[in-house]
């Protein structure tokens, strides 16, 4: 433990020193007609160093936090299902049953849903709708909620009928901050998307208010690598007090490069300490800016404090995920380095610094 702290301390210092060194070099080179690529590379190295340093600090911070904050889930009794390793599947079966009853018995309201994930998605512009989450959703209702200023929208999986997928979500614009959308996910995807099947990317733009022709869009897409990239380029995810490797959390795990295995944070170990590679790979190799990625054109995926997200057992009705999507950084030239890429995709020895690699 102590060695670990020392290692982190040294790494922190090294990163700061490295960042400063590169900044100095860049300063010198700004006087010479260096190529823009070289300068970009150096800028990214600087940012990478600071990013690593900050991550270390954040890691320490979250570690201390986790010792003082009681996860919400611990306050609720743990259901027997949650102890057998598949709490959601069982609940979801119940949800399916409910829905099937609805199908047979018209408009019968299902029982209080058990499978829930709640996230917050913010769009700073205030015009853009909730973010692409990798699944195809079809809106089936909208309701004015008494206690809310804005109506709540109801979505269900597009493949509900074709693949018997009963995942649903509710989107509620926050009263306090209209740029924030509270999204509640219910049920687990049993469609091919939920099984992480890679399908040809097919962009579908849907609008909450189709007539408005503004950016109040909700984008839905198959969780392909491309959509993952676009999505990953824009999200800032902040999550506290979350756990359990089984979750209806909507992002298709494999295509996002993180897994929901136990004791695994958002940062795969392979790249945990090599955000620079991640950022470079993301920025230079994985940036197929597609037409539908207008909102997603910036390599700025950031996930903070996700440690423990999947590590704490959750009760079915007490899952709170806080995700903030900051679209204001769409044009930011500064890539964030948090986003994990599957370490298996990148050879650590890959010669990124090969002259002309980025040209």
Partner DNA sequence: CAGATTTGACCGTC
Partner DNA sequence: GACGGTCAAATCTG
Instruction: Kindly state whether residue 210 participates in binding DNA, applying the rule CB under 7 A.
Output: yes
Q: Are 122 and 235 in contact (CB under 8 A)?
A: no
Compute the distance between CA of residue 37 and CA of residue 284 in angstroms, rounded to an integer.
Answer: 11
How far, in Å, are 26, 28, 42 from residue 33 at the CA level? 12, 11, 14
Beta-carbon contacts of residue 96 (< 8 Å; ≥ 6 apart): 164, 166, 187
Among 208, 226, 305, 321, binds DNA (CB under 7 A): 208
Compute the distance between CA of residue 188 and CA of residue 260 in angstroms, rounded to an integer.
Answer: 14
Among 30, 57, 145, 344, binds DNA (CB under 7 A): 145
Instruction: Kindly state whether residue 158 participates in binding DNA, applying the rule CB under 7 A.
Output: yes
Q: Which residue has the tokens 């201390």?
A: 64
Kindly tell me which of 170 and 283 has the beta carbon lying closer to DNA: 170
Kindly tell me which of 187 and 308 has the beta carbon lying closer to DNA: 187
Stretch that binds DNA, among 86-94, 95-103, 234-242, 303-311 (CB under 7 A): 95-103
Instruction: Kindly state whether residue 106 participates in binding DNA, applying the rule CB under 7 A.
Output: yes
DSSP-assigned letters across all residues of 91-127: HHHHHHHHHHHHHHSTTPPPPPP--EEEEEEE-TTSS
Stretch that binds DNA, among 20-28, 146-154, 227-235, 306-314 (CB under 7 A): 146-154
CA-based max dimension of the chain: 76
Stretch that binds DNA, among 69-77, 105-113, 221-229, 294-302 (CB under 7 A): 105-113
Total residues interacting with DNA, rule: CB under 7 A: 40
Q: Closest distance between DNA and the C-beta of residue 325, in Å?
A: 18
Instruction: Kindly state whether residue 137 participates in binding DNA, applying the rule CB under 7 A.
Output: yes
Among 19, 71, 113, 268, binds DNA (CB under 7 A): 113
For residue 276 the two structure tokens come to: 């620079």
Q: Are 207 and 218 in contact (CB under 8 A)?
A: yes
Stretch that binds DNA, among 68-76, 110-118, 250-258, 294-302 (CB under 7 A): 110-118
Which among 339, 340, 348, 338 has a CA at the least distance from the CA of 54? 338
Q: Closest distance between DNA and the C-beta of residue 165, in Å?
A: 13
Q: Closest distance between DNA and the C-beta of residue 143, in Å?
A: 5
Compute the distance between CA of residue 62 and CA of residue 241 in angstroms, rounded to an integer.
Answer: 10
Among 62, 122, 136, 233, binds DNA (CB under 7 A): 136
Kindly tell me which of 47 and 171 has the beta carbon lying closer to DNA: 171
Instruction: Kindly state whether residue 149 participates in binding DNA, applying the rule CB under 7 A.
Output: no
Instruction: Kindly state whether residue 141 participates in binding DNA, applying the rule CB under 7 A.
Output: yes
Query: Which segments within 104-193 are labelled E, that is strand?
Result: 116-122, 137-143, 152-157, 168-173, 180-186
Interacting residues with DNA (CB under 7 A) = 99, 102-103, 105-113, 136-143, 145-147, 152-154, 156, 158, 168, 170, 186, 204, 206-211, 218, 220
């Amino acid at each position: 433990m102590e060695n670990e702290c020392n290692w982190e301390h040294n790494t922190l210092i090294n990163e700061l020193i490295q960042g400063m060194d590169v900044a100095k070099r860049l300063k010198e080179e700004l006087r010479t007609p260096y190529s823009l690529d070289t300068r970009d590379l150096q800028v990214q190295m600087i940012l990478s160093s600071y990013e690593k340093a900050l991550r270390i600090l954040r890691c320490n911070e979250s570690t201390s936090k986790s010792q003082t904050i009681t996860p919400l889930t611990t306050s609720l009794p743990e259901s027997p299902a949650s102890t057998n390793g598949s709490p959601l599947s069982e609940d979801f079966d119940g949800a399916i049953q409910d829905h099937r009853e609805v199908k047979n018995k018209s408009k019968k309201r299902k029982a209080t849903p058990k499978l829930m994930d709640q996230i917050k998605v913010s769009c700073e512009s205030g015009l853009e709708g909730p973010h692409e989450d990798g699944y195809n959703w079809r809106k089936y209702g909208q309701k004015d909620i008494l206690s809310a200023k804005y109506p709540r929208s109801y979505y269900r999986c597009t493949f509900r009928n074709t693949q018997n997928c009963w995942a649903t979500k509710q989107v509620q614009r926050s009263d306090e901050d209209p740029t924030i959308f509270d999204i509640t996910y219910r049920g687990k995807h049993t469609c091919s998307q939920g099984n992480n099947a890679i399908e040809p990317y097919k962009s579908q733009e849907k609008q909450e208010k189709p007539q408005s022709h503004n950016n109040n869009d909700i984008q839905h897409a198959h969780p392909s690598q491309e959509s993952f990239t676009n999505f990953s380029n824009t999200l800032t995810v902040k999550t506290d007090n979350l756990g359990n490797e089984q979750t209806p959390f909507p992002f298709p795990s494999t295509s996002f490069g993180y897994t929901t295995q136990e004791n695994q944070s958002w940062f795969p170990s392979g790249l945990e300490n090599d955000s620079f590679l991640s950022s470079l790979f993301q920025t230079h190799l994985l940036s197929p800016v597609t037409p539908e990625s207008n909102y997603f054109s910036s390599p700025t995926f950031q996930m903070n404090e996700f440690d423990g997200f999947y590590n704490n057992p959750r009760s079915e009705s007490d899952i709170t995920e806080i995700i903030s999507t900051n679209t204001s950084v769409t044009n930011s030239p500064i890539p964030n380095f948090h986003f994990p890429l599957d370490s298996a995709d990148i050879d650590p020895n890959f010669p990124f610094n090969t002259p002309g690699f980025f040209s």
